[in-house]
C-alpha cells in the first residue's frame, strides 16, 4: 500500500528556483570554420578576432599528449603566474571554467534563500543567474545615462538583507567604466557582511588606457570582496574557458575552491592560460590593434551622427536614429552579427565587438548602406 502511494507521487522537478531562472542562454552561432560560419563576421559575443599566440598553441598541443591523465586540480603553475601578474597571494586566487563559472559560485557562497543582491541593469547576466539559483532576490538599479554602473543609486538600494553587491567595469553591454572614486565609495560603503564583487572581464583593455586600479582600491576595504577576470577576451582564449578570481582573504578563496567541480580546467586550458600570461608581446599586439580599430569605428559612427557610449573594452555601444532591431537585421543580412540591447529606450542600441580589420570594414560598409536608418 505504502509502496503504491509512493509510486503515484508526482514528479516536481525541476525545483521552482530553477524554473524561475529568467536569464536567456547565449545566442547560438554556426561554427566559425563551417562553410556558413566562415562567411560570418562574429561581432556579437565580444570574442577576440585574433587567434591565440603560437606559443599558446604549442603549449596547448603539448598538453594534449597527456590528455588521458586528469589535469592538475590545484592549477599550481597557472595560479603562480596569476600571483606574479597581479601581486595577489596564491592563497587568495581561485580558477574557473571561464569567469562565468566563478560568477555563479560567488553567488552560491554569499547568498542564502531570501537574501538580496544589488546589481546594475543592464549588465552581464551570469552572477544574477547565480543569485536566482541560490534563492536570492535581485535588486536592480538602472545604469546612469552614460552606461556606467550607478554606484550612488546602487548604494541607496542596500538593506540589512543585502549579501552581494555586483559591479561590472567596463560594464557589459554598455562599456561604461567606473572611476577610482566610485569604486572607492563602494569599497568603503558596502557593509562588511556583504560580498563586493567586481567583474573585470575586460580589465586588460581598461588597464591599457590607464583605467583605475580596482585591485589596489579594494585592498583597502575591510569587508570581503572578489574580483573576477577572464582569459576569453584580451588573451584570445574564449573557446578554452578559463577565468580566475582574486579574493580578499583565503577564507573567501577557500569557499570558491570548495565550489569548484574536480578538475574543472582541462589540461590544454591550464597550459594555454599559463603560456598566454607569459606571452606579453601577443597581449600588447591584441590591445594595440583592438584600441586602434575601436577608434576608427568610433570616429566613423560619430561622423554618421550616432550616439556613442564611451567604453574601454573590445566593443562599442551606440544608438542609431532608427530602431536597433532593424539595423541589426540589415547587418545580419550582410553576414555581420551584432548584439541588440533593449536599452536605453524603446529604440534600443547596438553593441558591436571590435573584430579583425576586414570584419570591421564589413560592419562599416553595412552601416553605411543602412545610413538612412542612422541619421
Ligand atoms: C562582463 C563579463 N563578465 C564575465 C564574462 C564571462 O566570460 P568567460 O566566462 O568567458 O570568462 C563575460 C563574457 O562576455 C563578460 O562580458
What are the grid coordinates assigned to 322, written together?
Answer: 532608427
Quick one: fold of 54-278? 3.40.640
Measured over the CA atoms of residue 39, residue 41, residue 44 and residue 47, the dihedral's sign is positive
Kindly compute the dihedral angle of the four CA atoms of residues 177, 182, 188, 190, in this order, to the nearest 10 degrees: -60
Give the model's confidence band at 28: pLDDT under 50 very low, under 70 low, under 90 confident, else very high: confident
Rounded-to-integer distance, Cα 350 and Cα 318, Å: 6
Ligand 1 centroid vs 46 CA: distance in angstroms? 9
DSSP secondary structure, 145-211, as one string:
TTSS--HHHHHHT--TTEEEEEEESSPTTT-----HHHHHHHHHHS-TTSEEEEE-TTHHHHHHTT-
Taking residues 56-82, report their average pLDDT: 98
Query: What's residue 104's pLDDT?
Result: 98
| pLDDT at residue 196 is higher than 90 | yes
The segment(s) of the chain belonging to CATH 3.90.1150.10 are 28-50+281-373
Averaged pLDDT for residues 135-154: 97
Cα 133 to averaged position of ligand 1 atoms, centre (Å) = 18
What is d(CA 61, CA 40) in angstroms, rounded to the nearest whole number? 27
DSSP 240: G
Q: Can you give the pLDDT at residue 93? A: 98
- Kindly tell me if the per-residue pLDDT of 375 is higher than 60: no
Counting from 1 in the atom list of ligand 1, the atom nearest the Cα of 242 is 11
Q: What is the mean pLDDT of the chain?
A: 95
Winning range, highest mean pLDDT, from 17-31, 144-158, 357-371:
144-158
Confidence of residue 374 (pLDDT cuts 50, 70, 90): low
Mean pLDDT along residues 341-364: 96
Q: What is the pLDDT of residue 373?
A: 62
Stretch 146-152: mean pLDDT: 97
Per-residue pLDDT for 11 more than 90?
A: no
* C-alpha of residue 103 to centroid of ligand 1, in Å: 9
Which atom of ligand 1 has the smallest separation from the CA of 238?
10
Which residue's C-alpha comes closest to atom 12 of ligand 1? 201
Which of 51-65, 79-93, 235-249, 315-329 bottoms out in mean pLDDT, i.e. has the lowest?
315-329
Residues enclosing ligand 1, CB less than 6 A? Answer: 46, 98-100, 124, 168, 172, 199, 201, 230, 232, 238, 243
The predicted model gives 63-69 an average pLDDT of 98
Q: What class has domain 28-50+281-373?
A: alpha beta
pLDDT band at residue 9 under the 50/70/90 scheme: confident
What stretch(es) of the chain map to CATH 3.40.640.10? Answer: 54-278
Candidates 101, 128, 230: which one to mutate for ligand 1, based on the most atoms within 8 Å of Cβ?
230
d(CA 52, CA 118): 36
Residues in the chain: 375
For 224, the 3-state DSSP assignment is coil
Average the pLDDT over each of 94-98, 136-140, 319-323 and give the range with the smallest value.
Answer: 319-323
Task: Provide mean pLDDT across the span 251-277.
Answer: 98
Amino acid at each position: 500500500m505504502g509502496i503504491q502511494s509512493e509510486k503515484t507521487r508526482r514528479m516536481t522537478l525541476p525545483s521552482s528556483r530553477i524554473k524561475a531562472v529568467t536569464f536567456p542562454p547565449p545566442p547560438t552561432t554556426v561554427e566559425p570554420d563551417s562553410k556558413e560560419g566562415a562567411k560570418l563576421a562574429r561581432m556579437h559575443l565580444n570574442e577576440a578576432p585574433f587567434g591565440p599566440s603560437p606559443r599558446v598553441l604549442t603549449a596547448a598541443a603539448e598538453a594534449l599528449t597527456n590528455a588521458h591523465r586528469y589535469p592538475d586540480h590545484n592549477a599550481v603553475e597557472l595560479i603562480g603566474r596569476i600571483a606574479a601578474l597581479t601581486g595577489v597571494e596564491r592563497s587568495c586566487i581561485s580558477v574557473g571554467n571561464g569567469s562565468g563559472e566563478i560568477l555563479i559560485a560567488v553567488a552560491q557562497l554569499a547568498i542564502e534563500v531570501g537574501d538580496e543582491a544589488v546589481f546594475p541593469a543592464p549588465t552581464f547576466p551570469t552572477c544574477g543567474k547565480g543569485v536566482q539559483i541560490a534563492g536570492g532576490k535581485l535588486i536592480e538599479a538602472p545604469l546612469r545615462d552614460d552606461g556606467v554602473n550607478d554606484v550612488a543609486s546602487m548604494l541607496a538600494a542596500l538593506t540589512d538583507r543585502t549579501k552581494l553587491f555586483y559591479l561590472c567595469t567596463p560594464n557589459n553591454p554598455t562599456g561604461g567604466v567606473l572611476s577610482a572614486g566610485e569604486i572607492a565609495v563602494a569599497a568603503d560603503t558596502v557593509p562588511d557582511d556583504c560580498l563586493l564583487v567586481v567583474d573585470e572581464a575586460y580589465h586588460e583593455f581598461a588597464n591599457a588606457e590607464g583605467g583605475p586600479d580596482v585591485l589596489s582600491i579594494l585592498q583597502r576595504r575591510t569587508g570581503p570582496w572578489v574580483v573576477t577576470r577572464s582569459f576569453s577576451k584580451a588573451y584570445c582564449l574564449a573557446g578554452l574557458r578559463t577565468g580566475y578570481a582574486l579574493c580578499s582573504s583565503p577564507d573567501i578563496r577557500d569557499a570558491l575552491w570548495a565550489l569548484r567541480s574536480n578538475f574543472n580546467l582541462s589540461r590544454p586550458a591550464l597550459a594555454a592560460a599559463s603560456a598566454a600570461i607569459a606571452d606579453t608581446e601577443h597581449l600588447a599586439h591584441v590591445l594595440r590593434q583592438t584600441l586602434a580599430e575601436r577608434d576608427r569605428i568610433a570616429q566613423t559612427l560619430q561622423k554618421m551622427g550616432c550616439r556613442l557610449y564611451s567604453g574601454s573594452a573590445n566593443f562599442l555601444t551606440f544608438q542609431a536614429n532608427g530602431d536597433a532591431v532593424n539595423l541589426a537585421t540589415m547587418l545580419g543580412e550582410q553576414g555581420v552579427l551584432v548584439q541588440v540591447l533593449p536599452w536605453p529606450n524603446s529604440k534600443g542600441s547596438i553593441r558591436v565587438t571590435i573584430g579583425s580589420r576586414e570584419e570591421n570594414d564589413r560592419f562599416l560598409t553595412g552601416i553605411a548602406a543602412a545610413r538612412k536608418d542612422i541619421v
